[in-house]
């Protein structure tokens, strides 16, 4: 049996009376792309923040590479990285300077080679000397992805990574991520509101609604279980149910 790279057990997060994440358990295998799906407020981002050690869980355990995140934060986070539409990079620094800082923060060797490689991979080598403040939102998204891939992580958390990209670049990013998975065996936890992207990217999908896991399986299994035409229909059904209850 393959040991999971990520094991989440009975994870819960409460903010006062509000339960953002409610007793969820799941795991991720090496090299797996796991989609985390759900309407706004379902608990996807809070879950990712807990996995990154940015929010302390109210209950439950998070283990990565067989280690408990609370006790082995430094070891785990040096092998993990993330990208999100909702983060930025220091605006007054150039793209290259930002990537060098990240590389030094993670203690990477051969920084120049890695920076060159990741800039080429994401087709942003021409932005190397551009001050981050002057990037478009699509360019900034690619730079934050470059930051995430630069450290060659074993687990990558991606929170809506293609949200601000045009279809052509988004497709290239998806291909790049699949290639990264194939070549380095990186495991990816992925959130997106683009259902076709979810179906294309994910080996397995976890559907969150109001902090709870309401469905888990391949896209086809989930569609069949809810008796809908496609994943988008499932999403709409659950999102509307969720809003009616609120």
Which residues lie near other proteins (CB under 8 A)? 13, 15, 46, 49, 52-56, 73-75, 77-78, 80-82, 84, 87-93, 97, 100-102, 104-107, 131, 147
* Cα–Cα distance measured from residue 65 to residue 44, given in angstroms and rounded to the nearest whole number: 21
CA–CA distances in Å: residue 16 to residues 20, 49, 58, 201: 10, 18, 11, 35
| Min separation Cβ 181 and other proteins, Å | 21
| Min separation Cβ 96 and other proteins, Å | 11
Please give the distance of CA 213 from its chain centroid, rounded to a whole number: 17
For the sheet containing 18-28, what is the strand order?
Answer: 18-28, 6-15, 59-64, 67-68
Tell me whether residue 56 or residue 246 sits nearer to other proteins (CB atom): 56
| Min separation Cβ 69 and other proteins, Å | 12
- Smallest CA-to-CA distance from 122 within 174, 44, 182 is with 174
| Min separation Cβ 241 and other proteins, Å | 26
Tell me whether residue 142 or residue 199 sits nearer to other proteins (CB atom): 142
Tell me whether residue 49 or residue 63 sits nearer to other proteins (CB atom): 49
Tell me whether residue 20 or residue 195 sits nearer to other proteins (CB atom): 20
Please provide the distance, in angstroms rounded to a whole number, between the alpha carbons at the two ends of the chain: 41
User: Which residues share a beta bridge with 37?
Assistant: 207
């Amino acid at each position: 049996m393959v040991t999971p790279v990520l094991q989440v057990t009975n994870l819960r997060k409460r903010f006062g009376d509000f339960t953002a994440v409610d007793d969820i358990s799941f795991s991720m295998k090496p090299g797996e792309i796991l989609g985390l799906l759900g309407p706004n407020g379902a608990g996807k981002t809070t879950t990712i923040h807990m996995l990154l050690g940015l929010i302390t869980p109210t209950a439950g355990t998070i283990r990565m590479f067989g280690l408990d995140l609370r006790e082995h934060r430094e070891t785990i986070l040096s092998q993990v990285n993330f990208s999100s539409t909702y983060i930025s990079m220091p605006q007054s620094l150039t793209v290259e300077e930002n990537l060098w800082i990240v590389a030094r923060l993670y203690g990477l060797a051969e920084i120049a080679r890695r920076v060159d490689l990741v800039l080429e991979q994401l087709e942003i080598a021409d932005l190397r000397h551009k001050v981050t403040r002057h990037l478009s939102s699509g360019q900034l998204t690619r730079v934050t992805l470059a930051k995430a891939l630069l450290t060659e992580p074993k687990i990558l958390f991606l929170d809506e990574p293609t949200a601000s990209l045009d279809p052509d670049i988004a497709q290239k990013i998806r291909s790049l991520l699949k290639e990264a998975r194939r070549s380095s065996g990186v495991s990816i936890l992925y959130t997106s509101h683009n259902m076709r992207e979810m179906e294309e990217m994910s080996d397995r999908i976890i559907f969150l609604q109001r902090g709870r896991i309401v469905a888990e399986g391949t896209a086809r299994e989930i569609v069949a279980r809810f008796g809908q035409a496609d994943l988008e229909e499932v999403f709409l059904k659950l999102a509307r149910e969720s809003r009616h209850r609120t």
